[in-house]
Structure 1
Amino acid sequence: MLVHICCSVDSHYFLQKIQEEYPDETLVGFFYDPNIHPYSEYKLRLLDVEYSCKQLGIELIEGPYALEEWLKLVKGLENEPEKGDRCTVCFDNRLETSVKKAIELGHDKFTTTLLISPKKSQDKLEIIGKNLSSLYNCEFIFKDYRSGNGVEMQGKQVKEHNLYRQNYCGCMFGLNAQREQQDKLTDELIYPIGQQIQPESIEERLELYQKRNELKECDIIKQRFLNYRLLNAKVIINKEVVPSYFLFYSTLKGKKSIGRVERVIKNVGYFNRDELKIISLDTFNQLANTNYTTVLELVYNPLSFDDELKLRAKITQNNHFDLSTIIILKEIPDAKVSVFSDFKIYDDVKEVLL
């Protein structure tokens, strides 16, 4: 039997139940989810499914990541709600590709772990599965493992095995609508130009779950913290934009400040307003033990997040509550400076490996 797999949260318990109910069937997992975006999220979910299938002793096959083809299929349905017509087209695509793969591999049965997801329409999945079954002469196995205490048991399995519990279906259109309703930043779709791995980013979670795979025993817990994303920032001196780097957690009242450096203490320039600080690239190199030659080099190849926080602590005398703007320029200017900064700072929750 070929089992289309959407994610480990939905698949782990579902696969266990299928194994129990069909002990004579050889199960093959098929991860085919071109709707998942961004690609780092796709890699994270695939990594987690590989981990789950390995524990269950089930072979896993990865389908193509055909995002562009999927986008063409759902064109015009971008604003549809979850469980609407866009989801129907998505189900059609994933299940038809799955039944074709089942036949290619010589299977006479197929099913999907989407059936156990509380946010998916079982009725639609059953209709699509039965239509494909008739069309391709391959039996669709419909199982409602979410009824009774199925969802509760599914949740217990996720916690017991430290599986990745994603907080959106994977589709970028569903994500945008969900974050808009929650009045939250869609930070899953924000990636810094310097490729720094930032807290509670998909890339950070990918690193965490890779470490989980390497450990024999571990636990994953959640912690609340203050998150931050710099969306846009610039510094203007003498009517020209100059290369600048804003340290993580740089906030600014009103998102704009115009003034001058009124004094320099221990190579840190203190602005005459808004608690803003400026240091030269040479001072940055001394404090961080680096050898950047230009500010743009720093922009495109920054320190790691942890090292950047250590540098901020040095500049602020270990004031861990400091949220003032700290800017690195080629040199501390002796002129009027205009600073513009658009950022988001917000309560968030991150996973931690113990």
Structure 2
Amino acid sequence: MECVVPSEKTTNAGLPLRPIEPDFVPTLRGVLEKRALAERIAGDAIGQGVTDIVFVGCGGSYSSSIHAATFLEARSTKLTIRNINAAEFQALPPARLGPKMLVVASSHSGGTPETVAAAKFARERGARLVAVSRDDDNPLVGASHYSLSYGSERTVTSAKQMLLAQLSHALLEETGERLDPATRAALEALPTALLEAQEQADPRLAEIARRLTAERPTYVVSSGPTMGAAFSLSLCYFMEMQWMNASNIDAGDYLHGPFEMLTENASLIVFQGEDATRPLTERVVKFAERHGTHVFVIDSRDLPLTGVPEHLRGDVSAVALGVLGTRLADHREAATGHSLDERRYMHKVEY
């Protein structure tokens, strides 16, 4: 297992480390102010007989919904929950699509063609639509009944997750499920707790970024609600923005094939949360420590998460790990000199 030690915040590659976004805390505090809107959406939906909640999106917007979908699946006895790629939603629509379905469609720009098409498709069949995007004036909002926006260009994944967490809590309350009274306090603590987490983790993330190499594929393992962090880091940040060979793996499947690729020619990143699926990643870590070479564990237990009640850390640890995944991408950009904004094909050629 590679030793990870503190390091400086700049590299010799020619790109300085991006600062933590100055709008990070204000954006998340603004998201928390959308609580009443989330409660109104939930109240309208349940009042109109909604029984199915489907999250749709592509790429990072799809992965941003994994935390909420997993949270609802584990707690709701009255609602059916699914998380579906927006392109597949229209190609293979759920048989239950109709007036009893609430479709929550996410797209940062609000213009992702597959997601806008999925929203229009669902609305034509009578579903209720919620748009989750950067602003309130875009094609996705135009196709929806409600808009949950966060108003930031860079504070994106955590903002979406917190919006969807509030909607999930509201849906559970509307359907009579019991929620811990301290749940709201956990969310209220996140803006400053997540800023503190980034600041604390910066030295370690910088070292991980330097230890990774384009010559080795990078496998990102996680479980349950943290699968969103693994998806975003591997597909969006490493493949799309750094042109690295990378993939995400569910810890529950690690021994069913993927562990054969734990060699000196591959890197392994493990996101460890504090939810009920933690034993799955702990098993991966124990195996990797015995047999691996380039192994990096990013564990939410190492973070103070100040203000989050101890017994509720598992409910929000996936959000914290997603933030650290984004911050690791910033460090990788600095380490390689390859801008996160550079693309080979996206928005340049027809697909």
After TM superposition, is the score higher than 0.5?
A: no
Q: Relative contact order (alpha carbons < 8 A, sep ≥ 6): 1 or 2 greater? A: 2
Hey, which of these two has a bigger chunk of helix by percent?
A: 2
The structure with more strand, counted as a fraction of residues:
1
Q: State the TM-score, normalized to the length of structure 2.
A: 0.31
TM-score by length of 1: 0.31
